[in-house]
Structure 1
Amino acid sequence: MAPDPFAELKKRQREMWVTFTPVAMFTTPVAGQLVKFAGIRAGEAVLDVGTGTGVVAITAARAGARVSALDLTPELLLQAHQNAQIAQHTDIVWTEGDAEQLPYPDASFDVVLSQFGHIFAPRPEVAIAEMRRVLKPGGRVAFATWPPEHLVGRMFAFIARNSPPLPAGVAPPPQWGNPAIVSERLGARFEAPFFARGTMGFPALSVAHYRLFMEQSVGPMQKLVESLANEPEKLAQLRAEYETLVAPYHLDNVMQQDYLLTRARAC
């Protein structure tokens, strides 16, 4: 097997997302929507790619599916395992691994899910090819992603503008929230996708509360703030710009984070 050209990037990603656990609680309702949207049925073999703390995997297991789940970050998998024990779904198979190199045989699963996880794989075409490879004929893929024109997509664009450039060939994660791009990426491997939208409510007393939580829990934002620790004026300016960006989405003590749901059947 040829060396992975993005091995160093993935190493940084693995370390960057260690602090994600507090955010996962707020994605739990989205997991319920995703599993329902995917039409998970009892007895189906389901793979959750980029499982994080396991909220989608555990939700699918509660629906009666036989679940495997994969993530790059071992610390998150440990939390997922603990969450599964509390939820009394200890039969989920947790695996440390890469969305671009899924460690499963061909045609292993009825459904492949991903909630805000596979979008960080550097090469979308490789991630989609792997999802299709492990799906049975007629199997389904379903995922939740962040549209580029809404809060989280704009936040990632803001981080990218203020951070060192990613290696050549790496696709920006918010592209996965553009239905036209998603349709093109699914291409000939899947039937025409079906889309739906939802909103993830994130409680916050103020925009400053939300910003602070992001700085403490979302890896890319955390790293950006850390990079300016010795430049207080630049850091203050960055924080002010960020608060201006997200302020329109703060309504009734809730940050409105729109997301896109995609479902498609394998050809």
Structure 2
Amino acid sequence: MTEAIGAVEADRALKSKHRKMWALGDYAAVAAQLIPSLGPLLVEACGVRAGTRVLDIAAGTGNAAIPAAATGAEVVAVDLTPELFEAGRRLAAERGAAVDWREGDAEALPFDDATFDTVLSCVGIMFAPHHQAAADELVRVCRPGGTVGVLSWTPEGFIGELFATMKPYAPAPPPGAQPPPLWGRGDHVRELLGDRVTDLDVWTGTLHVDRFVEPTQFRDFFKANYGPTIAVYRGLADDPTRTAALDNALDALAQRHLTASAGGMDWEYLVVTGRRVG
């Protein structure tokens, strides 16, 4: 009994930490300036259309929820970090898109079974620490015959390398927490979904990002705007030597990718879509 209570308290503390992390900086700027095309891409891959009921898990500022609503679908956007909703509501209003914003944990969604026709997540659910719990919820709230779709950064791509680069400078994750880029491996997602989802379509794509010309532009942008990067640097605030080492590591990462893709960076992602069995 005591162990169970301790596990619940530890999970609550972890989720609180995640919420605060994603509220840091300006994720709306990251979504709008770097990845605006990914949400519409996933919405199209899932075949979202007018009249369907859609859930966007770990929706952030609505990168997928807003284009889904623009099709005429009835869209609910759920996220652990409601601080992101203010920017999302503003963007939705500018697009004339109606989105229902709800606070909620991807691993314990506040919805009944089989509520939605389409359940999707664009570089969102991958950051839930317990992958199987999040995948179980994704499938649970989708109706039989409905569509599930997930777009995630791959371990081998730029964002996967970014997290690998920051890892030595960050606190060790708690037991049971899994690396986000695992969602960018097709075999991992297949295992998570199991036989509950059929007709899987699994493919990789590349996002060309031309926002940065010099490595320091990338580093400074992420240090100012991207919650996970900000959190790592805050943990190094009293250690200028390690801070400088992380600066150099991020610069080297950016330089490799800028050199490999003259005129910007190419960021690899994985898309998985399928049909809920039942």
Counterpart-to-counterpart distance in 2, 1:121 and 1:218: 17
1:47 corresponding residue in structure 2? 55
Counterpart-to-counterpart distance in 2, 1:231 and 1:160: 16
Q: Which of 81, 85, 101 is 1:77 aligned to?
A: 85
Q: Which of 260, 264, 267 is 2:270 aligned to?
A: 260
1:168 corresponding residue in structure 2? 175
Q: Which of 121, 130, 147 is 1:123 aligned to?
A: 130
Q: Which of 104, 108, 113 is 1:106 aligned to?
A: 113
Q: Secondary structure at the match of 1:191?
A: strand
2:222 corresponding residue in structure 1? 214
Considering only aligned residues, what root-mean-square deviation do their CA atoms show, in Å? 1.6
1:232 paired with 2:237, answer no
Give 5+ residue unaligned stretches, structure 2: none
Q: Which of 1, 13, 17 is 1:12 aligned to?
A: 17
Give 5+ residue unaligned stretches, structure 1: none
1:156 paired with 2:163, answer yes
Distance 1:57 1:4, change over 3 A: farther
Asked whether the 8 Å contact 2:38–2:63 carries over to 1, the reply is no
Deviates more, 1:194-203 or 1:22-31: 194-203
Asked whether the 8 Å contact 1:102–1:130 carries over to 2, the reply is yes
Deviations 1:100-144 (Å, cap 9, x if unpaired)?
Answer: 111111111011010111111111111111111111111111111
Q: Which amino acid in 2 is paired with 1:68?
A: V
Counterpart-to-counterpart distance in 1, 2:88 and 2:226: 17
Q: TM-score, with normalisation over the residues of structure 2?
A: 0.91
Counterpart-to-counterpart distance in 1, 2:169 and 2:121: 27
2:249 corresponding residue in structure 1? 241
Counterpart-to-counterpart distance in 2, 1:69 and 1:211: 30
Counterpart-to-counterpart distance in 1, 2:129 and 2:249: 27
Q: Secondary structure at the match of 1:143?
A: strand
Counterpart-to-counterpart distance in 2, 1:83 and 1:143: 22
Q: TM-score, with normalisation over the residues of structure 1?
A: 0.95
Total equivalences in the alignment = 266
Q: Secondary structure at the match of 2:250?
A: helix
1:193: how far off? 2.1
Counterpart-to-counterpart distance in 2, 1:249 and 1:73: 31
Counterpart-to-counterpart distance in 1, 2:184 and 2:22: 20
1:179 corresponding residue in structure 2? 186
1:192: how far off? 4.9
Q: Secondary structure at the match of 1:137?
A: strand
Deviations 1:183-240 (Å, cap 9, x if unpaired)?
Answer: 1111121115211222223210211100111111111211111222232222112211
Q: Which amino acid in 2 is paired with 1:259?
A: Y
Counterpart-to-counterpart distance in 2, 1:157 and 1:234: 16
1:5: how far off? 4.1
Asked whether the 8 Å contact 1:195–1:260 carries over to 2, the reply is yes
Q: Secondary structure at the match of 1:6?
A: helix
Counterpart-to-counterpart distance in 1, 2:13 and 2:263: 39
Counterpart-to-counterpart distance in 1, 2:183 and 2:79: 18
Counterpart-to-counterpart distance in 2, 1:4 and 1:93: 29
Counterpart-to-counterpart distance in 1, 2:155 and 2:108: 26
Identity %: 36
Q: Which of 92, 96, 102 is 2:99 aligned to?
A: 92
1:4: how far off? 5.9
